[in-house]
Amino acid sequence: MKIEKKRNIKVSITKIIIILILIIICVYITARYATDEQFRSKIDTSILKKEVSESTLNSIELDTDTNPTVYAFDKYIVVISKNKLTEYTSDGKVATELDINISIPLVHVNEKYMVIAEKSGQKMYLISDENILWETSVEGNIAGVSVNKNGYVSVIIKNTTYKSVVAFYDLLGTELFRNYLSTSFATCTSVSTDNKFLAIGEVDSTGTIIKSYVKILSIEKAQKDPKNSTVYKYEAENGEIITNINYQTKDTAICMFNSYVQKVGLDSNERLYDISESDLFLDINLKDAIAIIDKQSSGLFSYEYEMIVKNSSNKSESLYILNSDLPKTMDVCGDNIALNLGNEVQIINSSGWLLKKYTSNNQIKSLVVGNSIAGIIYKNKIEILDL
């Protein structure tokens, strides 16, 4: 019995040692993967198979004579051209073709919904999956559109008797109310994730100093009395212009101004980020974070670049090193961040980990990214990257 007991103890100790060794190896690999670019590249290429190259993916042909515009939406690549919207699946096949009266599109995508309007025109559509849910026309000219993850739409209208009008629609396309701005211009809007609040970014340039405001409306109150539906109003610092709003939760809107990013809500009003001269790109449209690309001096006339992903709730940060590679563009959707580096595309998630790396011998014109798909756009084709 004693011999058996000793043997069991030895086996248990051996198992514990093996587990500890495995944990140490995992921690070492994870830490090195996060900090060593060459090691990370070998793992991504040889083991995780994250790297792909041009002409190895499914593709879509583009007719450049029709001036097509390209978007990523849900699980589709969308091409709009000559009053036709065509959705393509990840294998490059046509999922549907929809007739839309749009020549210069204004587009906003949120998860399963896509709102499309004619820039400075009257027509507007809401699309989900492969269907047009509704369409409408407005009086005046459309200056901006926004849709939340539940399909509720807000639209900014200009060139009426007011400086701006903000109209609000439910999922069925019923106009629930309008908010009229007589002294300021609306620049952006966003609907909360629970459909209870509408945030409107306004700029007032009538005085000697430009003033920006974020006005939060109760949608329930606005349907009964639009003039008395404001439940909170944030006044920005003098000279600031609000450029974007994104409701990342049901309670808090992330608001972007010239020189800072602010959390605005009934119960939360705090500075999230101060924009500096070294910040080259900044986007607040992630699901629960903001993404910043900045440059750091690495010597005389030389710089290195890094991307910081800052969680808007707990303010934790993830760092992704780009070294000397300066992106041409940064596009975001959901948890995905897409960087166009000219002959290379990197897709990173909001935790700072590489999802896909795409390399090309030719110059990449542009790219689009969705929740589960990305499109690498050249002059005459789109290569489809399945995420």
Model pLDDT, residue 301: 66
For 58-104, where are the E strands, in sequence order? Answer: 59-61, 69-73, 76-81, 84-88, 94-99
Strand ranges of the sheet holding 153-158, from the earlier edge strand across to the other edge: 141-147, 153-158, 164-169, 175-181
What pLDDT, on a 0 to 100 scale, did the predictor assign at position 324? 79
Report the pLDDT averaged over residues 173-196. Answer: 96
- Which is more confident, 349 or 300? 349
Cα angle, residue 83 at apex, residues 163 and 55 outer, rounded to 5°: 115
346 touches 357 (CB < 8 A): yes
CA 299/CA 17 separation, integer angstroms:
46
pLDDT of 335: 94
* In the predicted structure, residue 43 carries a pLDDT above the cut 70: no
Dist. CA 291–CA 352, nearest whole Å: 10
Beta bridge partners of 169: 153, 175
DSSP state of 82: T
150 three-state secondary structure: coil
Average pLDDT of the residues in 154-170? 97
Q: Please report the pLDDT score of residue 38 as a whole number.
A: 65
Domain boundaries, the chain: 2-35, 50-75+276-387, 100-275
In terms of pLDDT, which residue wins out, 110 or 42?
110
Number of H helices, E strands in the chain: 3, 33
- DSSP per position, 306-332: EEEEEETTT--EEEEEEET---SEEEE
CA distances from 329 to 57, 284, 344 (A): 22, 15, 11
Which token pair is 298? 């690495």
Residue 250 has pLDDT above 80, yes or no: yes
Beta bridge partners of 355: none
What's the rounded mean pLDDT across residues 180-195?
Answer: 96
Alpha helices in the chain (DSSP H): 2-35, 37-42, 219-224
Task: Tell which residue, 127, 183, 124, has the closest CA to residue 151.
Answer: 127
Cα 139 to Cα 122, 148, 155, 180, 316: the distances in Å are: 7, 23, 12, 13, 45
Q: Does CATH place domain 100-275 in 2.130.10.10?
A: yes
* Global pTM value: 0.87
Q: Categorize the per-residue pLDDT at 142 as very low, low, confident or very high, splitting at 50, 70 and 90.
A: very high
Token pair for residue 226? Answer: 């639009």
C-alpha span between 352 and 181 (Å, rounded): 41
Query: What gap in Å lies between CA 176 and CA 223, rounded to an integer?
Result: 6
| Cα 35 from Cα 85, distance rounded (Å) | 43
For residue 262 the two structure tokens come to 């602010």
Q: Of 344, 341, 345, nearest to 373 (Cα)? A: 345
Selection from 351, 336, 384, 355 nearest residue 48 by Cα: 355
Cα(383)–Cα(385) distance, rounded to whole angstroms?
Answer: 7
Mean pLDDT of the chain: 91
257 pLDDT higher than 70: yes
Q: How many other C-beta atoms are found inside a 10 Å radius of the C-beta of residue 332?
A: 22
Mean pLDDT score, 184-211: 95
3-state SS, residue 30: helix
Find the radius of gyration of the CA atoms of the chain: 24
pLDDT at position 47: 61
Per-residue pLDDT, 66: 87
Q: What whole-number distance in Å separates Cα of residue 113 and Cα of residue 111?
A: 6
DSSP letter assigned to residue 47 = I
Residues in contact with 268: Cβ distance below 8 Å, sequence separation at least 6, in sequence order = 251, 252
44-72 residue pLDDT tens: 665 666 788 888 899 999 998 888 999 99
Of 39-48, 238-247, 323-332, 351-360, which one has max mean pLDDT?
238-247
Match 């459909």 to its residue by tokens: 195
pLDDT above 70 as % of the chain:
91
